[in-house]
Structure 1
Amino acid sequence: AECVHIYSLVHDDLPAMDDDDIRHGLPSTHREYDEATAILAGDALLTLAFDILADPETHERARVRVELVRRLAHAAGAHGMVGGQMIDLASEGRELDIGGITRLQQLKTGALISFCCEAGAVLGRASAEADHALHAYAHDMGLAYQIADDLLDAESDAQTLGKTVGKDAAAGKATFVSIMGVDRARGQARMLADQAIQHLDLFDERADLLRQAAHFVITRRN
C-alpha cells in the first residue's frame, strides 16, 4: 500500500495534475529529476506493489495472495484512488456539497486506507465480523484524516507541512473546511475518530495501535 501511496504522490505533483514543486519539504520528483522520470518512477512503484503481494513470502496460500491483489487493485483503480483523483480534477471551479466531497475523499484517500486496515484481516483469515469492523473503522478514520488534512491546508504553513498550502482554495476546490467552516470541521474530525475507535471494541487491546492511529490523524501537525 505504501508503494501505491508514494506512486500517487509522485504522479499527483506532476504539472498535468496538481503541479506542485514541493513534497515532504523537498523538491518533488519531477523537479528534482524530470517529468519522464517521475512518470516512470510512479509506474515502477505501482507494479512493485503487486510484485510484493504476489510473492510467496507474503503468504503461503495463493488464494490469500490473490485476495490481497484483488483488493489493492480495486482500492487503487477506477473504483478507488484513481477514480477519486479524476473526480477531484473535474471538480475544480464547481460547487460540491458535503455528500459530494465525502464521496470524492472516500475514493481518493479512503479506499487505500481501507485496504491497509483490511489486509491484516485477509492475511490472518479473520472472520467476516472482524473484516467488517476493520472496514467500518477505516471508513470513519479515512474521513477524519481528510478533514484534518483540509484543516492543515487552511491553517498551517509550507515549512511546517512540507508541501504547498492553500492550493485547494486557489484552485476553487471545495473542501470539508470550505463547506463546514474550521470549528465545525474540527469537531466532525474528532467525532469520526471517536466513532472509528468504537468499531474496534471486539479486538480488545489487540487494536491499541489502530486506536492510537485514529487519535494521531486528528492531532498531527504535518
Structure 2
Amino acid sequence: MPESAFPEWIRRTDATLSNALPDPAVAPQRLHAAMRHAVLKGGKRMRPLLVYATGTALGAADASLDAAAAAVELIHCYSLVHDDLPAMDDDALRRGQPTVHVAFDEATAILAGDALQTLAFDVLANAPQDAPQRVAMLAELARASGVAGMCGGQALDIDATGGRTKGDQRHVSDRDDSTAGVVRPKNDYGFVPLPFSLAELERLHALKTGALLRCAVRLGALAANADASCCAALDRYADALGLAFQIRDDLLDIEGDAATLGKTTGKDQAQDKATFPALLGVPASRARLQELAASMQAALDSVDADTHALAALAHKAIHRSH
C-alpha cells in the first residue's frame, strides 16, 4: 500500500523540525518554547507528505527532500499561529492543544509566528540541492506564502467574513458596503448566503489554502528536476487538491466534533465565514468534492511515474475526519 511510507515520512519531518527549532533552554526561552509548541504538538503533516510523495515518485531520495518538507510545514505552522490570534479567528484550541496565544501570550504568539516563517527559509536555504534548485525552491515558497498566495487569500477571507462594519478594520470590501447592517436570511444549513460567485470563492481558497499545498508538490518536483510537462500535470493535481482540502475542512466544521478535529467547530457558521457550504449547501459541496477527486486522478494519470502515494493523499484529503 502506498500509505506504508507515510509514517516514515512523518517521522523524518518531525526529526528535521525538532533539530531545526531552537533549544527551549536557551534564551529567549519563552519564544523558543512557543515555537516548539506550535510545531511539535501534532498535525497531519499533509504538506511534508506531498513533498515526499512527489519527489520520490520522480526519483528523489528521502534525504534530499527533508529540508523542503520541513520548510513548508514551518510556513504552515506559522500561519496557524497567526490565524488563531484574537485579531484573526480568535481560536483557543489547535491540534487538541491550547493555541499559542492562549498557552503563552499574544505578543509571544506573534513573535513565534514571525520566527517560524524566517526559520522556514533558513532551513530551505540549506537544502542539499544545487544553488539554482535552491533558489527556485526558495522563490516558490516565498510566492506561495505571500500576497500572491496564502497571505493574499487570508486577506480576501477577512474581507469576505460577515459581520464587518466600517468601524472595524476588518470591514467588508467597498463592493459590499451597501449591505452593511443588513440582516440577510440564512439558508437551510444555517449560513448567510455569500454575496459572490463560486469562481470568486474558489480563487479565495486557491490562495489561502491551495497555494501552500501546490507549493509542497512543486518543491518535490523541483527537488527531483521534473520536466515542464510533468510539473504542469502535478499543478493540475495540486490545484484540485487544494480546493478539495478546503471543501472537506468546511464540511468538517459543520459535521465534525472538536475532540476529533482538535479545534473548535461551528465557528465558520457563527462568523458567517466564506465557505463552500455557505455558498453551495452541503449536498452540492459533497458533489464538488467528487468532481475534484476525478480531476486529481485524471491529472495523475498523465504523469509518467508511480503516483500511488499522491493518489492516497488525495483520498485522505477528501475522506479525512480531522
| AA at the equivalent of 1:25 | G
Provide closer, same or farther for how the CA distance between residues 189 and 198 of structure 1 changes in structure 2, counting only shifts above 3 A.
Answer: same
Q: Distance in 2 between matches of 1:97 and 1:20?
A: 28
Aligned to 2:236: 136
Q: Distance in 1 between matches of 2:264 and 2:125?
A: 36
Aligned to 2:133: 64
Q: Any stretches of 5+ residues in structure 1 without a counterpart? A: none
Aligned to 2:113: 42
Aligned to 1:16: 87
1:154 aligns with 2:254: yes
Under a length normalisation based on structure 1, what TM-score does the superposition of the two structures give? 0.95
Aligned to 2:283: 183
| AA at the equivalent of 2:111 | L
Aligned to 1:109: 209
CA contact under 8 A between 2:236 and 2:296: conserved in structure 1? yes
Q: Distance in 1 between matches of 2:206 and 2:246?
A: 9
Q: Distance in 2 between matches of 1:60 and 1:211?
A: 26
Q: Give runs of ≥4 in structure 1 deviating > 4 Å.
A: none
Q: Greater helix percent: which structure? A: 1
Q: Distance in 2 between matches of 1:62 and 1:178?
A: 46
Under a length normalisation based on structure 2, what TM-score does the superposition of the two structures give? 0.66
Q: Distance in 2 between matches of 1:181 and 1:204?
A: 37
CA contact under 8 A between 1:77 and 1:83: conserved in structure 2? yes
| AA at the equivalent of 1:40 | L
Match for residue 85 of structure 1 among 147, 154, 162: 154
Report deviation, 1:205: 5.7
Report deviation, 1:193: 1.6
Q: Distance in 2 between matches of 1:173 and 1:221?
A: 21
- Give the match's secondary structure for 2:157: helix
Match for residue 264 of structure 2 among 156, 159, 164: 164
Aligned to 1:220: 320
CA contact under 8 A between 1:80 and 1:111: conserved in structure 2? yes
Q: Distance in 2 between matches of 1:221 and 1:60?
A: 36
- Give the match's secondary structure for 1:200: helix
Q: Any stretches of 5+ residues in structure 2 without a counterpart? A: 1-71, 163-193
Q: Distance in 1 between matches of 2:308 and 2:102?
A: 40
CA contact under 8 A between 2:129 and 2:223: conserved in structure 1? no
Q: Distance in 1 between matches of 2:132 and 2:221?
A: 14
Q: How many residues align?
A: 220
Report deviation, 1:8: 0.2
Aligned to 2:124: 53
CA contact under 8 A between 1:200 and 1:207: conserved in structure 2? yes
Q: Distance in 1 between matches of 2:159 and 2:274?
A: 12
